[in-house]
Structure 1
Amino acid sequence: MTTTVSDLRLAAERLRKALAEYESFLSGWQDANEPLSNDDHATPAEPDATMQEVQESGVAVTNDVLERYHAASDAVTGYVQQTRDQTDSDWSEVIAATEPVRKATLAVHAAGYGTHPETGERDYLLPAELCPARRVSMNAGTSPVTFTDRIAQYRAVANRFGIDADVVYHPGSGHGVSPSVAFPETDVTYVDVDVAAMDDLAAAGYAARWADATTYTVGGGADVIILRNAGLVEEAIVERNLRAGGWVFANDHLESARHVAGMGRIELLGVVPDDWPGDTPRIETTDLDPSHIEREGKMSPQSGSTDWEVSPLDLYVFRESTC
């Protein structure tokens, strides 16, 4: 099914209207004198019919926001895939066409989140069932986290290829900050639509930005871009932010690796298996064929034989060709 620019505009308008109704609900909530709370089990000391009606209405409004959000996201996904199917893709046109939808979806990630009027802390302001931001978050309630296997992969790749990065960019990071451990002397920028996750990282001292990574620009560009379980418009991100001769690390859990492999002037130089014996990850560098990247591990990324089982969590190492 073809997704047109008109479809995108309609999806954006429907989501904006749903968000406007949600804002109206918030006013009704406050008028009912219900104290803001991030406690899922919080209930008024003396429940009354008015508050119950407002809350029931709020659940319906919140559900409508989320339904419109997913429909809008699907429309963008369909439009982007059509572009990927073309021989020559103009990603600036894709960015312009999808901008209204992406702005509206970004607003969903902030709906129900903000500064608590009593504590002054940034947090979810409503019970989970009434808070779109909380319900779309993949990271709600999580703190900054590192993963030893990812750190080992990044370090192994940097050592193997002699990568001395000044700037690392990790879009779609959530609460994951493994790059900061793998590259301790490097400026690492984290960007995600999850406002709570970015607030948590910023409070912990990381360079975190709440934004749509599709249009975010790292000042001066990045030497390394890490795309891990991100599900983003990878081509636009790499085109906008990768410095000449820069590196891209990507797995294929959400098809990031295959999208990067399809870009011009991007070369596949290595693959780090997700599972390896011993302490040091091994890096496959021979007989690599990027056309064989398969999400379910049904094909080897190599044209020849292999003695390891391919996983969508394998790390693919790309570099921009300077030739």
Structure 2
Amino acid sequence: MTTTVSDLRLAAERLRKALAEYESFLSGWQDANEPLANDDHATPAEPDVTMQEVTQESGVAITNDVLERYHAASDAVTRYIQRARDQTDSDWSEVVAATEPVRKATLAVHTAGYGSHPETGERDYLLPAELCLARRLSMNAGSSPVTFADRIAQYGAVANRFGIDADVVYHPGSGHDVSPSVAFPEAEVTYVDVDVAAMDDLAAAGYAARLADATAYSVDGGADVIILRNAGLVEEAIVERNLRAGGWVLANDHLESAHHVAGMDRIELVGVVPDDWPGVTPRIETTDLDSPYNEREGKVAAQAGPTDRTGSPLDLHVFHERTHRGHARSNNKEPP
């Protein structure tokens, strides 16, 4: 089914209306559940358990409706983006503009139910789990900044092999993963995600974390390295907007990020780090390279003729800007 801009506007409007009903319910629910003022003469009333259960059930139904509208809106965006990918030459700035109303509404869903506690000022989920949209959508609820030894090893091996001296690294859709900060200790690493709790946790730990929709986010001055791992984002728009001249993109294909990056004219595949390498140091393949893993065919589809290599969606693909051959250092300097 072809999705039009009108379809996107309708999906956004339906989601906004569902959010408004949700917020209206919360306003009444929170008022009803406020503690009594500090008054010695106040006598607490016996709670009406039946009424509380009915109210809670009503709230869960409203919350579920918001989530249903959220997924419908997200699906509409996905179909629209796929249509752009199917075209020979797409203007990604137009795609970003067309999907903006839906993405703004979905970002509001990701933050609903999270905020500052009115008494302590601490940032946290403020609602019961079944009523808290932010918690129900989070892939990282209750987590804290985390690093992964295998990812650090992969990034470090790639930097050494290709002589990447990055000043700025961008990790959109990062969640709580701060492995790039360990792999690129001299670089300024920016993390962007719609997971409000994850970004709060990273910011509190001193990382440059931004609550934002990565599709429309711009890194000030661009990035030398963009890392796309398990993100499921509009990778073309992110790379087009943020990759510096001579820059690098590191992407796996769990959610087809590498597949999408491989389709960009300005980008070429220069290396693959297998997910399951033997020994201590990751192996980097630089010859007879294939395009990223194609899950529908169950094997890696070759860029120029078939090969015997099979791949995994968790392999790390190393991309470089085509106009800067010779694997120049990615700090906006001209190649030697």
User: TM-score of the superposition, structure 1-length normalised?
Assistant: 0.93
* Structure-to-structure mapping, 1:266-281, within 5 angstroms: 266-281=267-282
Aligned to 2:30: 30
CA distance in 1, matches of 2:116, 2:213: 21
1:240 aligns with 2:235: no
Local SS of the residue matching 1:216:
coil
CA distance in 1, matches of 2:146, 2:73: 30
Deviation at 1:322, TM superposition (A): 1.9
CA distance in 2, matches of 1:176, 1:297: 30
- Structure 1 stretches of at least 4 aligned residues deviating more than 6 Å after TM superposition: none
Are the aligned partners of 2:246 and 2:320 in contact in 1 as well (CA < 8 Å)?
yes
Are the aligned partners of 2:273 and 2:283 in contact in 1 as well (CA < 8 Å)?
yes
Local SS of the residue matching 1:293:
strand
Local SS of the residue matching 2:185:
coil
CA distance in 2, matches of 1:45, 1:108: 34
Q: Counterpart amino acid of 1:81?
A: Q
Q: Counterpart amino acid of 2:198?
A: A
Local SS of the residue matching 2:11:
helix
* Structure-to-structure mapping, 1:1-323, within 5 angstroms: 1-34=1-34, 46-290=47-291, 293-295=293-295, 298-300=298-300, 303-306=306-309, 309-322=310-323
Superimposed CA distance per residue, residues 215-255 of structure 1 (whole angstroms, 9 cap, x where no aligned partner) = 00000000000000000000000000000010000000000
CA distance in 2, matches of 1:34, 1:286: 65
Are the aligned partners of 1:146 and 1:178 in contact in 2 as well (CA < 8 Å)?
yes
Deviation at 1:46, TM superposition (A): 4.0
Deviation at 1:34, TM superposition (A): 4.5
CA distance in 1, matches of 2:258, 2:6: 30
Q: Counterpart amino acid of 2:27?
A: S
Q: CA RMSD in A?
A: 1.6
Deviation at 1:269, TM superposition (A): 0.2
Superimposed CA distance per residue, residues 239-284 of structure 1 (whole angstroms, 9 cap, x where no aligned partner) = 0000001000000000000100000110100000000110000000
User: TM-score of the superposition, structure 2-length normalised?
Assistant: 0.90
Aligned to 2:327: none
Using the TM superposition, name which of 123-132 and 45-54 deviates more.
45-54
Deviation at 1:56, TM superposition (A): 1.6
CA distance in 2, matches of 1:11, 1:91: 20
Unaligned 5+ runs, structure 1: 36-43
Unaligned 5+ runs, structure 2: 36-44, 325-336
Q: Counterpart amino acid of 1:111?
A: A
Count of residue pairs the alignment pairs up: 312
Are the aligned partners of 1:170 and 1:227 in contact in 2 as well (CA < 8 Å)?
yes
